[in-house]
Amino acid sequence: MQLYNKLSAKERAELIEKAGKDRLTLSFYQYAKITNPQEFRDQLFIVWDKLDVLGRIYVAKEGINGQLSLPADRFNEFKAHLDTISFLKGIRLNIAVEQDNMSFLKLKVKVRHKIVADGLNDDTFDVTNKGIHVDADKFNELIEDEKTVLVDMRNHYESEIGHFKNAVTPDVDTFRESLDIIEEDLKDHKEDKNLVMYCTGGIRCEKASAYFKHKGFKNVFQLEGGIIEYTRQVNENNLDNKFIGKNFVFDERRAEKISDDVIAQCHQCGEPFDVHTNCANDACHLLFIQCDACKEKMNNCCSTNCKEIHALPFEEQKALRKGQSNSNDIFKKGRADYLPYKKDLRNIFENLKVDKK
Ligand SMILES: [Zn+2]
Ligand SMILES: [Zn+2]
């Protein structure tokens, strides 16, 4: 029985093109006790592969986190299958704001230790004791409250291209760093401030809100379904959109446009631009923002050094890489000192009316 993806991304792209059918990109997550993640993972793969599902799905003893695409006309079958699984019955699916048939080109269902890399020890607090979930309407109301501190729970390269107005955007590479910074900066305001959080689809806030409650914060709120669900509700109910720029996503689309504002700039020349790319040098792959003019000039590379290596014959590049692992894994860091226009988000609480003694 086939339990793993066999086609290359290129072969898959050709198949999707040939099929000529619209695909639907969506995501969901659920914390639940899964006793045998490997067995569960294999069952999912068998059913979903037949449904032509593509995506990146993590299964762990603590639950499931899935981002995927499937042919739109098979959505009902897919939903019916989820409904056969007790903890996924009737689950909210976050339908992507901007659709693209090529959002995913492989089906990868992986067993992981956790469904989000959070760097936390679960035994220290109760993850089910989470913050108050708010919808878009209530969220808009809450963030106007002067007692509210609005915090973006994502990483620096995500908030750099889009975030809610007046949000604090910690300049962090990991979720864990964010938790520590927020706790430290707000330690004198655990009771008198509303801590309101958001992330892409809600999963990171699920953990973070429970964590902050455990740490003694009294008024903890989280945006239900994250930016994706917020946007859907704003469009459906004609609400005020308080999000500026793009929503970074972890698939081939890279981002969804939520408002027309371009809030970032090309890391190499400083022109307003908000499309991420990965350095074309296979030994680098740095995630950074590069405008079309710089892309052409630099041959899609992040530095002259990378450009020179990238220009070498393949065999020579391989010889150079021998014994070295990728220095910049995709999505991991997205920082380099030689990029003059990488925005510094470090002074995160400067726009906050909190006195720091
Ligand atoms: Zn540029
Ligand atoms: Zn590079």
Catalytic residue status for 205? no
- Report d(CA 323, CA 1) in Å as an integer: 36
CA of 268 to the centre of ligand 1 (A): 5
Tally of domains in the chain: 2
Q: Are strands 194-198 and 220-223 parallel, antiparallel or unpaired?
A: parallel
**352 has a pLDDT exceeding 70:** no
- Report d(CA 300, CA 8) in Å as an integer: 23
| 337 lies in some domain | no
| 348 lies in some domain | no
* Domain limits for position 58: 9-111
CA of 118 to the centre of ligand 2 (A): 27
Q: What is the pLDDT of residues 247-260, one digit of tens each?
A: 999 898 999 999 99
Q: State percent of the chain over pLDDT 70.
A: 92
CA of 102 to the centre of ligand 1 (A): 26
- Summarize the confidence of residues 23-35 as an average pLDDT: 94
Judged by its nearest atom, the ligand closest to the C-alpha of residue 288 is: 2
More confident residue, 91 or 356: 91
pLDDT value, residue 340: 84
| 118 lies in some domain | no
In the β-sheet with 23-31, what is the strand arrangement from edge to edge? Answer: 94-95, 23-31, 63-71, 54-60, 107-111
CA of 342 to the centre of ligand 2 (A): 14
Residue 314, C-beta contacts closer than 8 angstroms, at least 6 positions apart: none
Domain boundary among 79, 111, 143: 111
Which pTM was predicted? 0.87
Judged by its nearest atom, the ligand closest to the C-alpha of residue 306 is: 2
Judged by its nearest atom, the ligand closest to the C-alpha of residue 341 is: 1
Domain boundary among 62, 88, 111: 111
- Report d(CA 185, CA 149) in Å as an integer: 11
Q: What is the pLDDT of residues 208-236, one digit of tens each?
A: 999 999 999 999 999 999 999 999 999 99
pLDDT value, residue 333: 63
| 74 lies in some domain | yes
Q: Of the listed 199, 279, 301, 306, which one is catalytic?
A: 199
| 211 lies in some domain | no
CA of 115 to the centre of ligand 2 (A): 29
| 293 lies in some domain | yes
- Summarize the confidence of residues 4-12 as an average pLDDT: 93
| 80 lies in some domain | yes
| 245 lies in some domain | no
Domain boundary among 85, 111, 137: 111
- Summarize the confidence of residues 338-347 as an average pLDDT: 70
Residue 52 sits in a domain whose CATH number is 3.30.70.100
